Chain A
């Protein structure tokens, strides 16, 4: 299926490498249900695009998986791990759900906001960090915690936060 891309087709926006990755997912499902790979596909093109999805990229995924565009928008707008607006190089997801809240996530959020000079949901002006609030990330044993990009950091303190962020360019 990845064999040929019609010139001018929106699929051209997906790199050959990303297409190969998506194809690995579609083979896991029956051919008539390849739309099941939509979440993985969105993840892959989001990575390719520096962490966020454009309408054009979502349209490309729709075309590639032969599904209605709106059905892709539904998925992309439902899950918090898809970003539909430009983001920083690193995405920080601070959990503020009940376990983390009881263990002091408020302090962590306050510290991050002060340190980065932005509010939840915003991106630093140098494009380095995007700060997001998250629901439970299933690491209550290490509360308070956050996820940066794809890595979990647990038992956070303001000092530990400083050390982690210092390592990220």
Chain B
């Protein structure tokens, strides 16, 4: 309601602005905007189905017809640009007649099945029919019937209800970047669908459920389970990636029924990734651990909290007495809350151990001391859209942080050149201006080439570059990437999850930092989930909360490689969450005492935890606890529990609080979670991405001649919650784990697609199917982690493959 009649007279005339009159009220409007945008901004309601403020304009539903002075007929408000002096009437007899007429046409073929339609109660068509429809239909002929389509495990279709607004089609084209749905046929025979039977595979597909104005596309997992008006909505934050998408968790009788996006222009706009939207299905699964359990003398038994805590305290005391407190280590899932992570490290440190870490999928920690206080995007999420050049290093951003991928596509549409140095030729659903697809070892060389090309442009850097770098002659693509980064501003270099788990991650980080400095680009580091929060909470061995230096303990990798006597696991399933699942299992098996805080019973997972754990403490997932997640912009977002904890489940911060007290440690007598949060004083910290010191090795040793494993964790295998979200597991993003390789590589092994190969690494071997994958460079084999089939394989190093017999 910002525009008021007097504004046009008091404000100086602006060449970019015009004044229009809507229902007699003068409004200022930007030249080139559409009538509906002006009325929306002024709070004047115009009915619509096909218009959506985030989608390109189609003007095909005609519901927004309004009267415009001097126009011979009603005009669609969504596709009529404003003009100075234009007089618009949204509620005149002509406009209202037109809107009622359109409504009658739209309802001709729409079934009257609201009582059995999931959209009922939150349906724009239903709502507008009330305002603009007739109470009796004049249409007595046959209604059209359209066959339903099976478009995958996430979206239910009821295509007879479709009114052909094409919002879902435009969403695919313009936002998801992949057109999967289309309008086929003509006139009355037009159908929205995939034409041939196939699933819609976009990682953002669930958004079409929200934008569909009728019940044609609805949520398959939610279908027929509740009515919109029975649900209570609770604001929350997504724990699955470092975006921190805003959610509405909707519950009925203390059960989460579905998750919807909550508008936040600065973060997720009005969208949500499928992972954030559908992961909730795991929270109601029968896999949930509902009461504490202890294993005493080889037998598991359910016990009350008091017994479990006593048992835990006794176990920890025993280990400390016999082996010393530095034989205790804590591993935390990066999806834990800031408060949980803070209390976990406080507990460990108060016991005298600094062995605490959340970086479960990393192996190179050489630059720990040089790292900034927390991994930071280097700019705001919104600013990402205005970048003119972006270099992704080791990042499948589309699947790792789906909504950042969306921002990059926006940037691309505005002219940004997107480039990548990746071990796999990932489809980012956006055109790549230049790319270097190389083995993990060659990625280092590629990035070094870019740095050397930039250095050759004469820009000074604080470092003396080692010879191998300054003497490297850049290839054509390295030159091209350097050229784009140096000339198209603002520029950004983004390090993704694959860079973090790279065998020489520190070198990669140093080079990326150097490239960013030389090119004058922002450096951004994308971490897993609440990685930023974990750093701020002090859940790393060498820093306490808020970046304060600490006596360094052991990092996650070293805790697994050189086993300890006791482990405290916060939301971690070691085999699936650690870089080296097989070694993680061995470490746990060798330990004297293992405490597992987990929302799920390990009996339901492909882990051996029922054999090696000694205590299971039911941990509240994000919907059942208060907490805070810090996103990649450094934005703190606190939330409260949406539903009460299931069974005997307790929020992590309360479990850790009482553990601290029972162990006799001072400073654990919090009465509210706010007191915990208040102890983490990060006000003095300035976010930064730059390294204190760049670890550029004096000599580069990369082994480029042996077959290398490329390690990745597919997006629906990253944490214990999504791994149990049944619907997500059935999507095309979760293919059966295989040894993926190029046709050339397969030919050199004399195997075909679907053959079996024995995969051997330094530690571990498995037999997998071969999948020919054109995205994988030669001399490499892509093997996903996070699956029971590949647990026993080391992540890095030389691999040997040989043909195996068919099972």
| A73 and B179 form a contact (CB under 8 A) | no
| B182 and A73 form a contact (CB under 8 A) | yes
Within 8 A of A (CB), among B136-182: 173, 178-182
Partner of B186, one of A55, A70, A77: A77
Dominant SS at the B interface?
loop
Residues from chain B with Cβ under 8 Å of A68 in the complex: 173, 178-180, 182
* A126 in contact (CB, < 8 A): no
CA distance A73 to B198 in the complex (A): 13
Q: Which residue of A lies closest to B193 (CB)?
A: A70
B-contact bits for A64-79, CB 8 A (1 contact / 0 none): 0000101101100111
* B610 in contact (CB, < 8 A): no
| B182 and A70 form a contact (CB under 8 A) | yes
Q: How far is the CB of A39 from chain B (nearest CB, A)?
A: 14
| A78 and B182 form a contact (CB under 8 A) | no
CA distance A79 to B184 in the complex (A): 10
| A70 and B185 form a contact (CB under 8 A) | no
| B186 and A71 form a contact (CB under 8 A) | no
CA distance A32 to B195 in the complex (A): 26
| A71 and B196 form a contact (CB under 8 A) | no
Given contacts A55-B196, A73-B195, A73-B196, contact A78 B180 (CB under 8 A): no
* B183 in contact (CB, < 8 A): yes
* B483 in contact (CB, < 8 A): no
* B194 in contact (CB, < 8 A): yes
Residues from chain A with Cβ under 8 Å of B196 in the complex: 55, 73
B-contact bits for A57-90, CB 8 A (1 contact / 0 none): 0000000000010110110011100000000000
Residues from chain B with Cβ under 8 Å of A71 in the complex: 179, 182
B-contact bits for A119-145, CB 8 A (1 contact / 0 none): 000000000000000000000000000
A-contact bits for B177-207, CB 8 A (1 contact / 0 none): 0111111111000000011100000000000
Q: Which among A55, A68, A70 has the highest number of chain B CB atoms within 10 Å?
A: A70
Residues from chain A with Cβ under 8 Å of B194 in the complex: 70
CA distance A17 to B793 in the complex (A): 51
Tally of contacts, chain A with chain B, CB under 8 A: 31
Residues from chain A with Cβ under 8 Å of B185 in the complex: 77-78
Q: How far is the CB of A121 from chain B (nearest CB, A)?
A: 13
Q: How large is the interface on A (under 10, 10 to 19, 20 to 34, 35 or more residues)?
A: under 10
Q: How many chain B residues have a CB neighbour from A under 8 Å? A: 13
Q: How far is the CB of B224 from chain A (nearest CB, A)?
A: 29
| A78 and B179 form a contact (CB under 8 A) | no
Q: How far is the CB of A63 from chain B (nearest CB, A)?
A: 13
Residues from chain B with Cβ under 8 Å of A55 in the complex: 196
Q: Which residue of B lies closest to A79 (CB)?
A: B186
CA distance A74 to B180 in the complex (A): 11
CA distance A73 to B191 in the complex (A): 12
CA distance A70 to B196 in the complex (A): 9
Q: How far is the CB of B456 from chain A (nearest CB, A)?
A: 32
Q: How far is the CB of A149 from chain B (nearest CB, A)?
A: 22
Q: Which residue of A lies closest to B185 (CB)?
A: A77
CA distance A71 to B178 in the complex (A): 11
Q: Which residue of B lies closest to A59 (CB)?
A: B196
CA distance A89 to B205 in the complex (A): 43
Given contacts A70-B195, A73-B196, contact A78 B186 (CB under 8 A): yes
| B195 and A77 form a contact (CB under 8 A) | yes
CA distance A35 to B179 in the complex (A): 14
CA distance A77 to B191 in the complex (A): 10
Partner of A78, one of B173, B178, B181, B184: B184
| B184 and A73 form a contact (CB under 8 A) | yes
CA distance A64 to B186 in the complex (A): 25
Q: How far is the CB of B432 from chain A (nearest CB, A)?
A: 14
CA distance A78 to B190 in the complex (A): 8
Q: How far is the CB of A71 from chain B (nearest CB, A)?
A: 6
Partner of B180, one of A70, A77, A79: A70
Q: Which among B178, B180, B196 has the highest number of chain A CB atoms within 10 Å?
A: B196
Q: How far is the CB of A21 from chain B (nearest CB, A)?
A: 25
| A77 and B179 form a contact (CB under 8 A) | no
CA distance A88 to B173 in the complex (A): 37
Q: How far is the CB of B176 from chain A (nearest CB, A)?
A: 11
Within 8 A of B (CB), among A87-103: none
CA distance A30 to B744 in the complex (A): 35
CA distance A78 to B195 in the complex (A): 12
CA distance A79 to B195 in the complex (A): 15
CA distance A78 to B191 in the complex (A): 11
Q: How far is the CB of B342 from chain A (nearest CB, A)?
A: 47
Q: How far is the CB of B760 from chain A (nearest CB, A)?
A: 30
Q: How far is the CB of B179 from chain A (nearest CB, A)?
A: 4
Residues from chain B with Cβ under 8 Å of A79 in the complex: 186
Q: How far is the CB of B159 from chain A (nearest CB, A)?
A: 15
A-contact bits for B685-706, CB 8 A (1 contact / 0 none): 0000000000000000000000
CA distance A79 to B173 in the complex (A): 22
CA distance A73 to B193 in the complex (A): 10
Residues from chain B with Cβ under 8 Å of A78 in the complex: 184-186
CA distance A55 to B181 in the complex (A): 16
CA distance A74 to B184 in the complex (A): 4
Q: How far is the CB of A142 from chain B (nearest CB, A)?
A: 26
CA distance A74 to B192 in the complex (A): 10
Q: How far is the CB of B334 from chain A (nearest CB, A)?
A: 36
CA distance A160 to B35 in the complex (A): 58
Q: How far is the CB of A83 from chain B (nearest CB, A)?
A: 14
Residues from chain A with Cβ under 8 Å of B186 in the complex: 77-79
Q: How far is the CB of B670 from chain A (nearest CB, A)?
A: 55
Q: Which residue of B lies closest to A78 (CB)?
A: B186
CA distance A71 to B180 in the complex (A): 9
Q: Which residue of B lies closest to A74 (CB)?
A: B182
Residues from chain A with Cβ under 8 Å of B178 in the complex: 68
A-contact bits for B289-302, CB 8 A (1 contact / 0 none): 00000000000000
Q: Which residue of A lies closest to B743 (CB)?
A: A8
CA distance A79 to B189 in the complex (A): 12
Residues from chain B with Cβ under 8 Å of A73 in the complex: 182, 184, 195-196
CA distance A71 to B183 in the complex (A): 8
B-contact bits for A15-55, CB 8 A (1 contact / 0 none): 00000000000000000000000000000000000000001
CA distance A125 to B441 in the complex (A): 64
CA distance A70 to B194 in the complex (A): 6
Q: Which residue of B lies closest to A80 (CB)?
A: B186
Binding site for B on A (CB under 8 A): 55, 68, 70-71, 73-74, 77-79
Pairs A–B under 8 Å by Cβ, sample size 15: A55-B196, A68-B173, A68-B178, A68-B179, A70-B179, A70-B181, A71-B179, A73-B195, A73-B196, A74-B183, A74-B184, A77-B184, A77-B185, A78-B184, A79-B186
Of all A-B residue pairs in the complex, the 10 with the closest CB atoms, nearest first, are: A70-B182, A68-B179, A73-B195, A77-B184, A74-B182, A78-B186, A77-B185, A74-B184, A73-B184, A70-B179
Binding site for A on B (CB under 8 A): 173, 178-186, 194-196
Given pairs A74-B183, A78-B185, 5 additional interface contacts (CB within 8 A): A68-B179, A74-B184, A77-B185, A77-B186, A77-B195
